[in-house]
């Protein structure tokens, strides 16, 4: 869908990677490997994105590094569009999370969704009794798909309910902050 809107499959892949990791610097060959496209195509699209000001570059150690320009006037709006259109299909994530055990509640925070940082620093929050080995495999796979560390927190349902009752700041921030609910059977 976005290829038609943005005119290039390579541009969409670059934007998806860069919006998910807005503070990270990449050099051209690294981007080429990560998006799986030809180097000339990647260079061409980076030049286009740099020309409009969405991507900025700097030289370091005789290499040119590229990064999102977070002060671009339409940064948030474009980022929301790209992440929503290219994000991990929610149904697939839900299915993978439910396969880990008895999950009562699972959310992806704003930081995971590429919409800024959360006070807690957590990307994913899960409540339930789950298999920790399955969770670690799942998180490692997500980390390779998204090219970044995924920070997560897990607690059982009883601890979650108790912490909600006492007004625990961490749990309150998780539930009230910007997030996407994947599972909610509380």
Helix axis angle, 169-176 to 157-165, nearest 10°? 100
- Check residue 8 and give its pLDDT: 86
- Check residue 66 and give its pLDDT: 96
Q: What is the CATH number of domain 2-86?
A: 1.10.10.10
| Angle at 27 (CA atoms; ends 1, 82), nearest 5 degrees | 20
Tokens of 127: 């409540």
Give me the CATH topology for the region 90-184.
Answer: Beta Polymerase; domain 2 (3.30.460)
Residue ranges of E strands in 28-146: 55-60, 63-68, 101-109, 124-130
Determine the Cα–Cα distance for residues 36 and 32; give it in Å rounded to an integer: 6
For the four alpha carbons of 128, 129, 135 and 136, in that order, the dihedral sign comes to positive
Locus of tokens 């490692």:
140
Closest CA to 111 of 79, 154, 78: 79
Determine the Cα–Cα distance for residues 150 and 11; give it in Å rounded to an integer: 25
Range list for CATH 3.30.460 in the chain: 90-184
Range list for CATH 1.10.10.10 in the chain: 2-86
Could you tell me the mean pLDDT of each successive run of 10 residues in the chain, 186 residues long?
Answer: 70 88 90 92 94 94 92 89 72 85 90 64 91 92 83 95 95 88 86
- Check residue 68 and give its pLDDT: 94
Tokens of 64: 């040119």
Contacts of residue 23, defined as CB under 8 A and 6 or more positions apart, other chains included, come to: 67, 68, 70
């Amino acid at each position: 869908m976005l290829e038609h809107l943005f005119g290039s499959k390579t541009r969409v892949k670059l934007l998806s990677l860069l919006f998910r990791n807005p503070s990270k610097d990449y050099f051209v060959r690294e981007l080429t490997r990560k998006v799986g496209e030809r180097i000339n195509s990647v260079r061409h699209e980076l030049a286009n994105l740099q020309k409009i000001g969405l991507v900025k570059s700097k030289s370091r150690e005789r290499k040119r590094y590229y990064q999102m320009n977070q002060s671009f006037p339409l940064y948030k709006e474009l980022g929301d569009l790209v992440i929503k259109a290219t994000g991990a299909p929610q149904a697939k994530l839900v299915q993978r999370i439910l396969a880990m055990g008895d999950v009562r509640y699972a959310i992806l925070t704003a930081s995971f969704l590429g919409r800024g940082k959360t006070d807690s620093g957590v990307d994913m929050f899960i409540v339930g009794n789950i298999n920790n080995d399955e969770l670690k495999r799942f998180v490692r796979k997500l980390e390779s798909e998204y090219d970044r560390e995924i920070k997560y927190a897990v607690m059982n349902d009883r601890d979650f309910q108790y912490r909600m009752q006492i007004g625990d700041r961490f749990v309150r921030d998780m539930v009230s902050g910007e997030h996407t609910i994947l599972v909610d059977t509380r």
